[in-house]
Amino acid sequence: MSPGSRRVRSAGVLVLLVLALSAWGLARSPAGALAAGGTWKGTAEGIRVDHSELQSDELTSSSAANYQVELSFSFSVRKDGEVTGSGSGYYTDAHWHLSGVNGKEGPFDCEPPVSANQFGVQVSGHRSGHEVLLALAIPEATESNENYDCGANYTGFATTSHYMAESLEVVGGNELHLSSTAPTSLTLEKTVEEGDSENSKTHLYIWSFSVTPPGSESPSESGSSGARACSLSLTRVAARPSPAQAGKPIIVSFHVSAAAKASLLVSPLGGAPSTVVARHVPKGLNQLVWGGWLGTTPAPAGQYALTVRATGCRKTRSQTVSVKTT
């Protein structure tokens, strides 16, 4: 055999060895690396409940406000680990109720109309090991009201605020820790108290997030012909706190065996149910939040039925939990 033939055969063996090592490395690479470049999908629900009390010689007032938004967004993770994406959001509730006594002028009670806009969702972040650190921001989310008159000579000026943008930042929405290999659902809460006994303010923020990495969709979501393999079950429905405080948020957790569109329906004992939130959630444990309001005012104390309804895999499942508020 000539030296040239030996060199050709050696080169061929080397090429086969490199290919084998590459295949072995690909098989052992983390799923997060394979997911890079695909599209991640996420949804979020944010609730802010504000309550303030003012007492003075001339004036006593009580203010309660409820703001709720829903977000949907998508993003990809580049090879260098940077996250790029965008999304949109809208308000599902924006109400403010004022009442009190304005000295000799007498009692007042009103609901200043609040207007809110649709807005964009800024998505950024980076991959770190087996995690993706995701940053969400909604700087354009805005609430506003015109000049108002509550009666009894109690009036106020027009205001513009960014309450929901602030609440997302307060709970830590700018650093969400996501698994790079499996769907992530998490709920973040924060309570901020200000003032003193004569002028007190309480701000309660609750945000729930659901994010699905590429390749984690159910057969029906991904368009696979194997939709028959998709099976939907709804279990482990629970509410907290229970009993709860009237007019304050309640978190309802549940487990679905496949990605689904989940809705939370609330009804007083013997009353008609109303849908308070609906969004897409991934397979696994998830949460939906009821802000504690029905219509334009905080729901009064009583017994309530909270029903989770999940639709997916061409089926609909429902389960109800009862909660007492005081």
Q: Which residue has the tokens 């967004």?
A: 73
**Looking at residue 37, what is its pLDDT?**
61
Q: What angle do CA 129, 133, 136 make, to 5 degrees?
A: 165
96 in the same domain as 223: no
> pTM of the prediction?
0.81
Residue at 294 is within a domain: yes
301 in the same domain as 166: no
Residue at 264 is within a domain: yes
Q: Which domain holds residue 134?
A: 36-216
**Looking at residue 229, what is its pLDDT?**
74
195 in the same domain as 257: no
**Looking at residue 228, what is its pLDDT?**
54
Residue at a domain's end among 160, 195, 216: 216
284 in the same domain as 151: no
Residue at 24 is within a domain: no
Q: Classify residue 164 as exposed, middle or buried by CB count within 10 Å of its CB (0-12, 13-18, 19+).
A: buried
Looking up residue 228, the CATH number of its domain turns out to be 2.60.40.2550
56 in the same domain as 179: yes
**Looking at residue 215, what is its pLDDT?**
81
In angstroms, the CA 2 to CA 163 distance is 81
**Looking at residue 136, what is its pLDDT?**
98
Residue at a domain's end among 198, 216, 234: 216
Residue at a domain's end among 216, 241, 265: 216
134 in the same domain as 61: yes
Residue at 26 is within a domain: no
Which residues, including other chains, have CB under 8 Å from residue 229's CB and lie 6 or more apart? Answer: 219
186 in the same domain as 51: yes
Mean pLDDT by 10 residues, the chain (326 residues): 44 38 38 59 96 93 96 96 97 95 96 95 94 97 96 96 97 95 94 89 96 73 53 96 93 95 94 93 94 90 97 96 96
52 in the same domain as 194: yes
Residue at 201 is within a domain: yes
Residue at 119 is within a domain: yes
211 in the same domain as 68: yes
Residue at 11 is within a domain: no
Query: Closest by alpha carbon to 189, among 201, 211, 204?
Result: 204
Beta bridge partners, 289, equal: 251
Question: Beta strands of 10-130 (E only): which ranges?
Answer: 40-55, 59-77, 83-102, 107-110, 115-116, 119-128
The total domain count for the chain is 2
178 in the same domain as 60: yes
125 in the same domain as 51: yes
191 in the same domain as 45: yes
**Looking at residue 21, what is its pLDDT?**
37
In b/e form, how buried is each residue of 56-92, taking b as 16+ CB within 10 angstroms?
Answer: eeeebbebbbbbbbbbebebbbeeeeebebebebebb
